Structure 1
């Protein structure tokens, strides 16, 4: 039988653009694949998967390059990259959009906005829509519209079949419904290679945004007021808070509200009156301006970085707030922060077992963030994140699969909670030979092996 030939834009180590092609957003722990295929269409994806299986070659799948632990890269194998498959087709009549898996959020937001629509998604423009969706997808419209995966209607996926084959299948609530369920929060790269997603669209025009800054002396009061307000206020309002290092000495709360600035000002009273804010503003803007405001360029640039996270299901007691303050007082550098986003609203209207995304009842998602410039600073930064995660663990639960952390020992339960058993069943049905595997991929249920 004739061997499958790779098609698409192929980059190998001798090529002048190899370094650019292999580099992910996280420069920590660099990897050197032997070949990178930038697929241009679904056929290229099928050829790449068949080739990897025929040659028994390890491979990874990549889109937006934002996997925190670089699981979308490997040494000496094949990277199947879908980032150049990024067409967006809008059906105005049905208010749906078919988005190819390589599209990043920046493009998605711009194209949808030009037609008066959006989907609830993340904030960093270079993040790939597919990885975000497969992990659930939180962002500045989570409370009014739900997670990104809650607006997903259908997906197209290339899966492994037989011993060396590959085929395209569709999944929605009727066809391959178990795979569709698993793709709404079960994480990227576990079951196959997604090539396109179809979303229901949400009309959008103007929104109101706000920013409130406090000094270090208001740390405890500001955070406590925010956490007791943000998950419970009007569900048209989603907000975030960033607790910065003591060296920077700021606490910044910001958010987005589907409504008028005058109404937002009233909703903000509980936190505006807390402590002595150094800066407060509220403004009404076209939605695309809000997208640009929350898209921090620093998150889109490759850097030496470490992140981890967890969910908060009950407000932090004073002891936990003091722990955060102590860690930020002794931060490894000024760029170190603890970031949190309010949840509930529409996110919590769906039962934890209705999609693979388990943490429907969480009040807040939180992320521990640090970056550094010199390789010798790596150990102390990584240790800071690990120590912080452990110190806060009595007050937190699990972790968001889109904030992967290789140091979490029981990561399957941390990411998927009680949905793990069903996810392993789905894995066994669609990928019984564990073709799609990486250090934190879902293991198939043994009965399928």
Structure 2
């Protein structure tokens, strides 16, 4: 199902009832509209339907289904796999839907599907509230949440999807419905970690928590030749850390002339980054051991506004750079795994690439593994391998580095992956079955019910049985 061409006559009929912007290949803003964050992605859709509201989304879904079109759904942010745009077919573009409404008394926020985490944080922090997001503020709320959502507050308040109270969604049949613990509960289970397989989510209701406006943070850089030593100490430190602490380690050359002394700019280094979801003065004390493993190259730790901390990495991931990211949940962090992480860090062909270790546990494990579709609750650590580079002529070398690293590191994993760092989904159904395990068949049943024709397949796809 799903052809690539769009005939003029039905497209004109669709446009007549469409209130947003319908962008065609011959329109002057077409190239800007089809461009996505990852510079590796260069696709040419038959049309881009930039929706002005839910009615437009319903109309676009019905139009795509009735005309047998390939469909991509675009939210507000990164989408490293590039599935927010397609060749031929229709892009249902939600990027104009950025509204956020906060109920400070009820500690909830309602968020439209084109919002970024910067949009959400801006509104919630006015009341000293937040919900767990990512670690880059211009990431889209929709994609990150549907894939789970691992961010700076995870060990205290869980994943983004754990803080969902409800979603509004348009199904493949154009039906508009709400899913929550009390209404369409099976669908609510599936959208919390199962990706965009079951419809176009147009709105999210989140629980909020008291965070900030100032939080204690850690961002300390160490010499690369101390990585194995410090990772071993880090492993022991986070094992007994309070849930208020959520940290990650990222290692690479990390060249930045503004941050480091000249002699360190092009040397291997690694950082420990995290924050404390509690009183800032208490957090300064609790985070101090992470800054004292060995002599640092630079230490930018300290109390700062939560929203500013959420933006710290934004400049490292500019629009149009080339990205290829993959991941594995790790069973642990034994010395042999640490040695291999150090090896692959040194082997990176781009100075902008990193190998990352994310601390998990805490509130993530407070949610039962059968309570949502999210598949990574069992793991104490997540390995992220980020190839970030600028020169298209080095595409093959950078992609090969990531794949070789993941092939090697599978010895420390059950093979399941974080679906927001999926490469280009090249492993397809095998990756999904491995990741979801026994829950996979339940996801197939949901797909059979809500999208048996697989209209929504430009995603971390669950294939229906039909």
Q: Is the 8 A contact 1:222 1:251 kept in 2?
A: no
Alignment of 1:262-281 (within 5 A): 262-268=281-287, 270-281=289-300
Alignment of 1:133-282 (within 5 A): 133-161=145-173, 166-187=174-195, 189-205=196-212, 206-245=214-253, 247-268=266-287, 270-282=289-301
In the alignment, what sits opposite 1:44? 56
3-state SS of paired residue (2:42): coil
Q: Is the 8 A contact 1:311 1:364 kept in 2?
A: yes
Residue 311 (structure 1) aligned to one of 322, 329, 351:
329
Q: Is the 8 A contact 1:102 1:130 kept in 2?
A: yes
Q: Is the 8 A contact 1:231 1:344 kept in 2?
A: no
TM-score, normalised by the number of residues in structure 2: 0.89
Deviations 1:316-364 (A, max 9, x none): x222222222222222121121122211111111111111002112112
Q: Is the 8 A contact 1:231 1:345 kept in 2?
A: no
Q: Is the 8 A contact 1:386 1:407 kept in 2?
A: no
Displacement of 1:260 = 4.4
In the alignment, what sits opposite 2:358? 341
Q: Is the 8 A contact 2:218 2:291 kept in 1?
A: no
Change in Cα spacing, 1:267 to 1:204, as seen in structure 2 (3 Å) is: closer
**Quick one: distance in 2 between partners of 1:440 and 1:356?**
13
Displacement of 1:393 = 0.6
3-state SS of paired residue (1:169): strand
Alignment of 1:316-327 (within 5 A): 317-327=334-344
3-state SS of paired residue (2:435): helix
TM-score, normalised by the number of residues in structure 1: 0.93
In the alignment, what sits opposite 1:351? 368
Bigger CA drift: 41-50 or 242-251? 242-251
Deviations 1:372-423 (A, max 9, x none): 2222110011000000000111012311011112343621124323321111
**Quick one: distance in 2 between partners of 1:350 and 1:250?**
35
Change in Cα spacing, 1:218 to 1:231, as seen in structure 2 (3 Å) is: same
In the alignment, what sits opposite 2:95? 83
Q: Is the 8 A contact 1:248 1:334 kept in 2?
A: no
In the alignment, what sits opposite 2:133? 121
2:345 equivalent to 1:328: yes
**Quick one: distance in 1 between partners of 2:235 and 2:376?**
17
Residue 408 (structure 1) aligned to one of 409, 427, 434:
427
User: How many residue pairs get matched?
Assistant: 438
Bigger CA drift: 83-92 or 411-420? 411-420
Q: Where do 4+ consecutive residues of structure 1 move more than 6 Å?
A: none
Q: Is the 8 A contact 2:155 2:361 kept in 1?
A: yes
Coordinate RMSD, CA, aligned: 1.9
Alignment of 1:42-121 (within 5 A): 42-121=54-133
Q: Is the 8 A contact 1:182 1:355 kept in 2?
A: yes
Q: Is the 8 A contact 1:116 1:203 kept in 2?
A: yes
Change in Cα spacing, 1:261 to 1:221, as seen in structure 2 (3 Å) is: farther
Residue 431 (structure 1) aligned to one of 432, 445, 451:
451
In the alignment, what sits opposite 1:14? 26
**Quick one: distance in 1 between partners of 2:141 and 2:41?**
24
3-state SS of paired residue (1:360): coil
**Gap runs ≥5 in structure 1:** none
**Quick one: distance in 1 between partners of 2:139 and 2:154?**
17
Change in Cα spacing, 1:268 to 1:298, as seen in structure 2 (3 Å) is: closer
3-state SS of paired residue (1:5): helix
3-state SS of paired residue (1:427): helix
3-state SS of paired residue (2:25): coil
**Quick one: distance in 1 between partners of 2:207 and 2:289?**
34
